[in-house]
Every structure is written in C-alpha cells, then in structure tokens.
Amino acid sequence: RLCRFLGQDLGEEAVASVVRNASFASMRDNPMCNSVLLPSDIMDQTKGQFLRKGICGDWKNHFTVTQSETF
C-alpha cells in the first residue's frame, strides 16, 4: 500500500526484502535500528538492550509496582 501511495512499483524480491528487514528480529540485530550506535550519554547499553523481546506488555515484567501504577 505504501508503494502504491508513493507511486512506486516493487517486485516480489524487493517486497520480500522489505518484509524480512522490517521484522523485529532483523531490526534487533541491525545496528542502524537497535541504538548501539548512540553515544553512551544518550543510551546506556550496559542497562540492557533497547529492543528486547518484541512482546507486547513485557514492560510489566521490568517495572516496579509503583512504576506500573504510574503508567
């Protein structure tokens, strides 16, 4: 649909590549997407990965009760 909106035509291989590269697993492993290239004063990589599991609601396993009540 995006290609149609932009007036572009992509072949099946290109569409498959977009789908593959837009998957959570692919983005988690891609330095251009997973924030490993950010300076440490912006993103402290020692505190965990920016893209962890890709599971909706997983934040609840990492927040304290007080934090959960806030959000």
Q: Per-residue pLDDT tens for 8-23?
A: 888 999 989 988 888 8
- Kindly give, in sequence order, each residue whose CB lies less than 8 Å from that of residue 58, ignoring residues fewer than 6 positions away: 52
Q: Per-residue pLDDT tens for 30-46?
A: 877 777 777 777 777 67
Q: How far is CA 17 from CA 14, 26, 27, 55, 69, in A?
A: 5, 11, 13, 23, 41
What pTM was estimated for this model as a whole? Answer: 0.49
Q: How far is CA 59 from CA 1, 32, 37, 38, in A?
A: 31, 23, 23, 22
